[in-house]
């Protein structure tokens, strides 16, 4: 993982990422045809979220891991102010060393403040989470991390334009601690929503309704640049069945839907419909 982080942002790293993405799509088209749509949507989501932040505004990366999204945002929107949330101390330290211009908070985020058990996947650290793996405890170690609310981390005058959140099933808990931030800034939220982990209590229906109640539409990555009012609850839930529609979705406030559609069109060089 240290080598991957070292290569981030450099020409070798960019070439490696591009080659890997093309290889994954080619491999899927040859051997796992049903999964091509999921993979293409996830790659498209990464491309869009890296370039969609307004210059000078704040991009919030919740679950920053090794900083691949941070590196991409720095490349595409160099004036964006980037804030990272990373629960694992060693990862947070590496992020500070690699990206000294980024504000890094070494904590987990949820709707309650305190300390909590964090489950570290020792084989695939990107799958570590506040969510218990349940019976699937192999290759897991437990650490205690501070937990904060996103609403408490940001002053009222700080404009959060984009939030990327990938914290392995704890997304809804984090969003519930950001109610004031969401209502104040109406940021675009790109969030991971994979099938439930063992022991997870927050259902996908609750996540959908959370956004719906706040006038957000949930849009799949390949529809962000098009006229689309968002998925219905049934369609969102169906998208989690194999083969999944996507692993990542965009939540866009209704007041910003046209603005974000047009930004996505510029990023993808799509002509108006």
CATH of the domain at 35: 3.40.50.150
- Lowest-pLDDT choice from 17-21, 76-80, 125-129, 209-213: 17-21
Question: Is 73 within a domain?
Answer: yes
DSSP reduced 3-state for 272: coil
Question: Is 208 within a domain?
Answer: yes
Question: Tell me, what's the pLDDT at 199?
Answer: 43
Structural domain containing residue 182:
2-105+157-268
- Lowest-pLDDT choice from 6-15, 66-75, 170-179: 6-15
Q: Who has greater pLDDT, 200 or 262?
A: 262
- What is this structure's pTM? 0.92
Question: Is 132 within a domain?
Answer: no
Integer Cα distance of 40 and 138 in angstroms: 31
Q: What is the mean pLDDT of the chain?
A: 91
- Classify burial at 33, counting beta carbons within 10 Å of its beta carbon; exposed 0-12, middle 13-18, buried 19 or more: exposed
- Classify burial at 36, counting beta carbons within 10 Å of its beta carbon; exposed 0-12, middle 13-18, buried 19 or more: middle
Question: Is 55 within a domain?
Answer: yes
Question: Is 93 within a domain?
Answer: yes
Q: Who has greater pLDDT, 158 or 10?
A: 158
Question: Is 115 within a domain?
Answer: no
Question: Tell me, what's the pLDDT at 201?
Answer: 42
The DSSP H or E segment spanning 218 is: strand 216-219
How many structural domains are present in the chain?
1
Sort strands 81-85 and 103-105 into parallel, antiparallel or unpaired. Answer: parallel
Integer Cα distance of 120 and 103 in angstroms: 23
Question: Is 145 within a domain?
Answer: no
Question: Is 199 within a domain?
Answer: yes
Residues ≥6 apart with Cβ < 8 Å to 263: 52
Q: What is the DSSP-derived secondary structure letter of residue 103?
A: E
Residues ≥6 apart with Cβ < 8 Å to 249: 45, 190, 191, 193, 218, 219, 220, 221, 231, 236
């Amino acid at each position: 993982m240290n080598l991957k982080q070292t290569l981030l942002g450099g020409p070798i790293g960019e070439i490696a990422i591009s080659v890997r993405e093309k290889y994954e799509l080619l491999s899927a088209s040859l051997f796992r045809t049903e999964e091509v749509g999921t993979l293409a949507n996830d790659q498209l989501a990464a491309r869009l979220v890296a370039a969609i932040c307004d210059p000078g505004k704040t991009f919030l990366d919740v679950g920053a891991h090794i900083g691949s999204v941070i590196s991409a945002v720095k490349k595409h929107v160099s004036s964006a102010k980037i804030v990272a949330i990373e629960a694992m101390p060693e990862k947070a330290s590496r992020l500070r060393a690699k990206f000294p211009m980024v504000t890094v908070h070494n904590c987990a985020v949820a709707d309650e403040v305190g300390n909590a058990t964090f489950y570290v996947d020792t084989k695939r650290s990107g799958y570590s989470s506040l969510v218990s793996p349940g019976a699937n405890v192999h290759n897991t170690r437990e650490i205690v991390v501070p937990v904060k609310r996103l609403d408490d981390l940001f002053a009222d005058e700080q404009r959060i334009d984009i939030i990327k959140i990938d914290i392995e099933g704890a997304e809804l808990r984090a969003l519930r601690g950001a109610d004031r931030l969401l209502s104040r800034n109406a940021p675009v939220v790109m969030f991971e929503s994979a099938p439930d982990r063992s022991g997870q209590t927050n259902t996908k229906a609750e996540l959908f309704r959370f956004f719906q109640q706040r006038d957000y539409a949930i849009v799949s990555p390949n529809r962000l640049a098009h006229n689309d009012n968002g998925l219905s609850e049934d369609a969102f839930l169906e998208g989690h069945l194999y083969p999944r529609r996507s692993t990542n979705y965009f939540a866009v406030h209704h007041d910003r839907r046209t603005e974000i559609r047009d930004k996505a069109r510029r990023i993808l060089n799509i002509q108006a419909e």
